[in-house]
Amino acid sequence: MSRELQNLSKETPRIDALERVTGQAHYAEDIYLPGMLFARVLRSPLPHARIRGIDSSAAEALPGVRAVLHSKNCDVIWSSGDRHGRRRLFADPARFVGEAVAAVAAVDRHTAEEALGLIRVDYEELPHVLTIEDALREGAPQVFPEGNIEEEVLRFETGNIDEGFRQADSIYEGEFVSQYLNNAQMERRVSLAQWDGDRLTVWASTQGIYNCQKDIAHDLKLPLGKVHVICHYMGGGFGNKNQGYDFDLTAALLARKTRRPVRVEFTRHEDFIAVHGRWSTQQHYRIGYKKDGSITAIHLKAYSNMGAYLRSHGNLQGPENYSSPNIRSEIYRVYTNRSCSANFRSPPAPQGVFAIDSAMDEIAERLQMDPVEFRLKNAIQDFSADKKPLTSNGLRDCIRRGAEAIGWAEKRRQYSGQSGSIRRGIGMGIGTWSGGLGPSSAEIKLLPDGSVKLMVGVTDIGTGAKTTMALIAAEALGLPLESISVVWGDTDQTPYSPGESGSRTTGDTGLAVIEAAKKIREQLLTQAAAHLKVRREDLALRDGKIVSSANPGQSWSIAEVTATNIDAISAAVTTQQPDDGSKSGKTRLSFTAHFAEVEVNLETGKVKVLRFVAAHDSGTIVNKLTARSQVQGAVTQGLGMALREELIWDGHSAVPVNNYYHGAKPMTHPETPQIEVIFVETEEPYGPFGAKKLGEAGMVPTVAAVANAIYQATGIRFRELPITPDKILIAMNPSRDRKEAVALPPG
């Protein structure tokens, strides 16, 4: 970093830490409005069923029940529930176990729940499919009349794949499988809706207040300005809370019908199945390579199980992380009668990188090359897969510094040729993170007392975004952090934001904050020069005072320039597309290399991660404290995905059997090893003060690093996630029946 930074690249506690840890922060479920009703949702017990009829008369007659909605009295389409707009708010037919069938609003929770039991639904059961294999079988039950495969195939092609394989000395082939797992964020779904006349306010737990606004307005046919969405605090989402949701619409419709505020709440069980999780995949890799270790061709053919509706793209990260001149990737999206698959922190990456970085380790081994050396040779370098120059690239520094930190060379040697039942291994993986989601906005007011209101349409989803935005504003304005008040999370209060996803906030909204700050400084100092009869170029803003460089002792308060006019100095900036380098035809990527050291007990099949090093190039780190937390949280999720997590549907009934924390077993912090985070702060010309994206990058190669470490420890290549003790035991003792082990009850 050549610039001298006052506020950034330091360890700064969150500006809202106090209210978060003392219970003063108000989440959607902390809001109680006078006369508020509680709503509960009735869900389909069948994976595929037509709904012949619904009798809700007994429920409606229950004292305390105020309204019942279902497919026979409400035909609203929840359009962000399916990219093709095929999803009704209340299912008919139901396409997965847990799909909403009806909703009840009542004076209290217990009455609402009792009323659910009084609704009589006449289901006509239809045949169903759960797996990619079954869905593709000839004559399989059809989730949609159009078939079980999404018509549009995701294709990427560069170079000449056939020529690439011709140039290869050898060809690697491997098949990888990953499972569905839920985002499992702490905060359950809550949506509270209230109408003021024809204007709707929704307190949502959302990553994207403006997405939520847009989707609700669209589905309820309201003008955008009539929908007000508030999300002041939220307890995690990990990609699972970035649209308008069915429960938002349900709350709004019930509130309209009852003329009362209505809160829809999910139980933890509902939360696991009625929203979405990560798409499970089958990935087939064919990779051509030369004796010298260079890669000539990568061909990925994969299937993503999207569940019952198409809610996200279903893509996979992988081939683009390596500098092969010839790449072909084709990804087929498959429909099944399961809960939907959609975005979960770095949506296409951990399962994709698990596959390619397992494959690359296998190739390195065949070539007798060290995995670190192999990646230093082949990792993406100056250009992206689509041949655009990269704005900066610290990946090789990440690989080298991570390897050094974990003691790669020595441990790799030490752990080769072990015996006994306790074996150790070391492994690595690499990843990238890109993205850019369109316009970013920020608004700043400099108040007469020298304090600042910074308005950004972001929600702080746990990343510390409020603090990050305040730090960037303080830096750009030349004011102390304490003078900045952030206004956030309210469509009536803040400018547009495309939502906190794609790790976009620091890198994109940060640029808008800097632009607004520049305008503020310029206005203030120009007005000051005119008002104080001082040359503009002699004035600067420092610590809330206007200071003169011509006369060092002299300073003026901001109020001396603005008088009492609160609106005197304000600036609003919208960048249609923040300049992340794309205007110059470049691509801005973040990079990461992860290293895991594991111990495998061959008698119990248990894997213990002893140490983890995560090296990241995200340019300048705005706040090292929260950035490190981001990576540690992401790695923790990656470890769970590698070793434990999978939502299991009963093969016969299609009922999810472990849709709760204890059953789903997400990794918790006390279970994780020491996670060491290294920041490689490359000189990035396009980020705000040189910052690039971070949050999602933290999870990209975690699974791959663990899988590769287990391979070194056991000599067994696990190609199916999660790598659970039963799989390890079966692999160590191939005579045991694999099916039997997999069918062990969860938990």
Residues that bind its own copies (CB under 8 A): 15-19, 22, 24-26, 30-34, 195-199, 210, 214, 217, 223-226, 232, 259, 438-439, 441, 445, 447-453, 455, 482-485, 487, 490, 492-493, 495-496, 564-568, 570, 572, 574, 576
Nearest Cα neighbor of 489 from 168, 241, 180 is 241
225 vs 747 by CB, closer to its own copies? 225
Strand 607-617: give its sheet, edge to edge.
Answer: 422-433, 590-601, 607-617, 674-679
Cα 192 from Cα 523, distance rounded (Å): 41
> Of the two residues 167 and 570, which places its CB atom closer to its own copies in the complex?
570
CB of 465 to its own copies, least distance (A): 16
Q: 226 or 624: whose CB is closer to its own copies? A: 226
Residues 238 and 174: their CA atoms lie apart, in Å, by 30
Q: Which is nearer to its own copies, 573 or 607 (CB)?
A: 573
The region that residue 478 occupies, defined by phi over 0 for left and psi between -120 and 50 for alpha, beta otherwise, is left
Distance CA 335, CA 453 (A): 47
724's CB contacts (< 8 A; 6+ apart) are 605, 643, 644
Contact between 601 and 384 under an 8 Å Cβ cutoff? The reply is: no
Return the number of the residue (107 or 487) whose C-beta is nearest its own copies: 487
Which position has the token pair 């120009």? 526
Nearest to 434 by CA among 237, 692, 631, 698: 692
* Burial grade of 140 (CB within 10 A; 0-12, 13-18, 19 or more): middle
Residue 400 CB, shortest distance to its own copies, in Å, is: 41
CA distance 201 to 189: 17
499 or 638, CB closer to its own copies? Answer: 499
Asked if residues 711 and 361 have their Cβ atoms less than 8 Å apart, the reply is yes
Q: Which is nearer to its own copies, 488 or 591 (CB)?
A: 488
Write down the least CB distance from residue 38 to its own copies, Å: 14
Q: Cβ of residue 25: shortest distance to its own copies, in angstroms?
A: 7
Task: Return the bridge partners of 155, or none.
Answer: 330
In this structure, is the dihedral angle defined by the CA atoms of residues 336, 340, 345 and 347, taken in order, positive or negative?
Answer: positive
Find the shortest distance in angstroms from Cβ 34 to its own copies. 5
Whole-Å CA distances, 46 to 51, 147, 338 = 11, 20, 10
Min separation Cβ 197 and its own copies, Å: 4
Decide whether 307 or 462 has the Cβ nearer to its own copies: 462
**Nearer residue to its own copies within complex by CB, 53 or 85:** 85
Shortest separation between residue 95's beta carbon and its own copies, angstroms: 29
- With beta carbons less than 8 A apart as the criterion, state whether 499 and 437 touch: yes
Question: What number of CA atoms fall less than 13 Å from residue 586's CA on the CB side?
Answer: 17
Q: Are 93 and 308 in contact (CB under 8 A)?
A: no
Min CB(198)–its own copies separation in Å: 8
CB of 223 vs its own copies, minimal distance in Å: 3
We find the least distance from the C-beta atom of residue 557 to its own copies, in angstroms, to be 13
Q: How far is the CB of 438 from its own copies (least distance, A)?
A: 7
Contacts of 505 (CB under 8 A, 6+ apart): 458, 463, 465, 468, 469
Nearer residue to its own copies within complex by CB, 131 or 451: 451
How far apart are alpha carbons 577 and 610 in whole angstroms? 43
Nearer to its own copies, 160 or 575 (CB): 575
